[in-house]
Amino acid sequence: MIIGIDLGTTNSLASAWLHGKPTLIPNALGEYLTPSCVSIDEDGQVLVGRAARDRLQTHPARSASVFKRYMGSGRALDLAGKGYHPEELSALVLRSLKADAEAMLGHEITEAIITVPAYFSDAQRKATRTAGQLAGLKVDRLLNEPTAAALAYGLHEAAPESQFLVFDLGGGTFDVSVLQMFEGVMEVRASAGDNMLGGEDFTQLLVHGYFAHSGVPETALDDASFRQRLIARADIAKRELAGNAPVTIALHWRDEEYSWTTDATQFARSAEALLARLWRPVEGALRDARIPASELNNVVLAGGATRMPLVRQQATRMFGRFPESTLDPDHVVALGAAVQAGLRMKDAALDDIVMTDVCPYSMGVEVAQHLPDGSRVSGFYSVVIERNTVVPTSRVGRYHPTAANQTAIDLQIYQGESRLVRDNIKLGSIEVPITRRNGQGGEVDVRFTYDANGLLEVEVVEIATSARHQLLITSSGHELSQAEIAERLKILSALKIHPRDTLANRSLLAEAERVFQLLLGANRDRFGQWVGLFEQALASQDERLITDRAAQLRRVIAQIEANGFLELEPV
């Protein structure tokens, strides 16, 4: 049996084709969404999902998240003193989903269809396959996320020739893809996006609103634990604002309550700038695909953040129609992967063509910027080739040295869409000598040539002397070799994933630890006692006692999350 997996930046899900329909697979906590977070416990056991997300705050050095951003980059993340590639961290998430599937289906699972963003480069796709391999899963195929969303809606059974747009707003990224169905083949015609725009930005609006209007003293801004509680509350408020009733965020800081009430209208006003940013990628993708909005047969919503009525209204306005949204948007990609698995098992594979005729990323160099106060700051990204440019392509940018008597320019080359180079992926560097005296001369033209095979050539020419320097970047990423994979496999198999049957209790403890760190003084002591009672129950192995104390502890935590302190009597 082949399972489907949506390996997301924020959340991941597993699915299967069962009894003639796509079905989601719950994790050990009974939830479909497993946060894409990994943490290594003090005893070397791996925690994946909700517990790991809580431990990001209590044990940051032992926990990792958002590693999907770095797939195929060769960058290693430090976790409990050891370096792990994003492939390996993804493999741990996959292993946990595989175990969930095996628990539900009752047999071993060795094959999966994994979804990837349409814009993923060859290196990122290879890295995703490697992650599967490291998790003991043969990756039957990689499926583009927008194609999966279309499959979930059965669009492959629609008119033989149709075109649609998938509008996917996740936790931190916005992806727009225009797909075309032609002679039984579904093809991504163009993709565009903003990888600095997602549901979390809407949460931040409420965080800022609270600071501006609740009257909380400015010093609370520096209190990390207060901010953390506020973000958690703001995320809930964001969901509550789907209704018409006003929503109040009331939090305690240093024994004083500060509250702010907002409503959907006010939220809509503050979100205008974010909502406006949804336009550009949509227009870009339609322009690149050369399809006017009026000729789209369908618009499909995906990603948890499209549950916000505000986002839906904006999408309706953009396309002059109601988008498809009968399925839960944060399930559609996983459901579509299950449909593809079903088709594969019936041998009726739907060929999913990956666009290869556009360069999936922007590419550019690091530059310094002069700020209005006269200072100079480096680390900024200047794009030479824009994402989605048809390949082959060649573009040039002119750059000036920054220091008065500089003798060389050290060009750092990156791919990505972020404003700061540290958030992009480094491809290479080239140092060229220049002639510059007393702040004069030394300008260079930097030409990027990108061919259809994904080879990037960087040519630097000093204007004054016509001196030429070249650098060829062969792969847009770093692949693990077979030998490295074998070696990493050994290391990974030594890591034990926390057993599913006790994961719910372990997750509750991780959450309690996070909450404990939010508290101070007497509240902390009192809460520590509640946690102690739960631990005592765990040690007794008395199932009933464990269930009772777990419920008790959950109630206490809920109260703290709402108020910041305990009103309950001490234990």
- Regarding 8 and contact with Mg ion (CB under 5 A), the answer is yes
Both tokens assigned to 546: 């464990």
Q: How far apart are CA 27 and CA 288, in angstroms?
A: 39
Cα angle 339, 342, 343 (rounded to 5 degrees) comes to 90
CB of 339 to Mg ion, least distance (A): 16
The item of Mg ion, ligand ADP, none sharing an interface with residue 535, based on CB under 5 to 8 Å by kind, is none
> Is 6 annotated as catalytic?
yes
Q: Quick one: how far is CA 303 from the chain centroid?
A: 11
Residue type, 40: I
The item of ligand ADP, Mg ion, none sharing an interface with residue 304, based on CB under 5 to 8 Å by kind, is ligand ADP
- Regarding 117 and contact with Mg ion (CB under 5 A), the answer is no
Of the two residues 6 and 100, which places its CB atom closer to Mg ion in the complex?
A: 6
- Regarding 170 and contact with Mg ion (CB under 5 A), the answer is yes
Of the two residues 235 and 263, which places its CB atom closer to ligand ADP in the complex?
A: 235
- DSSP 8-state symbol, 9: S
**What does the per-residue mask of binding to ligand ADP show for 300-319, with x meaning CB under 6 A?**
---xxx-xx-----------
CB of 35 to ligand ADP, least distance (A): 9
Of the two residues 8 and 209, which places its CB atom closer to Mg ion in the complex?
A: 8
Nearest to 531 by CA among 506, 504, 549: 549
- DSSP 8-state symbol, 209: H
Q: How far apart are CA 328 and CA 316, in angstroms?
A: 17
Pick the catalytic residue: 41, 54, 100, 145?
145
- Regarding 330 and contact with ligand ADP (CB under 6 A), the answer is yes
Q: Quick one: how far is CA 378 from the chain centroid?
A: 26
- SS3 for 356-418, per residue? CCECCCCEEEEEEEECCCCCEEEEEEEEEECCCCECCEEEEEEECCCCCCCCEEEEEEEECCC
List the one residue from 31, 102, 122, 200 that touches ligand ADP (CB under 6 A): 200
Pick the catalytic residue: 41, 54, 68, 100?
68
- Regarding 86 and contact with Mg ion (CB under 5 A), the answer is no
CB of 234 to ligand ADP, least distance (A): 10
Q: How far apart are CA 386 and CA 154, in angstroms?
A: 33
Site for ligand ADP in 426-455 (CB under 6 A): none
> Is 145 annotated as catalytic?
yes
Of the two residues 52 and 566, which places its CB atom closer to ligand ADP in the complex?
A: 52
Question: Number of C-alpha atoms within 13 angstroms, CB side, residue 300?
Answer: 29
Q: Which residues of 199-224 are buried (b: 16+ CB within 10 A; e: fewer)?
A: bbbbbebbbebbbeebebeeebeebe
The item of ligand ADP, Mg ion, none sharing an interface with residue 133, based on CB under 5 to 8 Å by kind, is none
Contacts with Mg ion, residue ranges (CB under 5 A): 8, 170
Q: Which positions are catalytic?
A: 6, 68, 145, 168
Contacts with ligand ADP, residue ranges (CB under 6 A): 8-11, 170-173, 198-200, 235, 238-239, 303-305, 307-308, 330
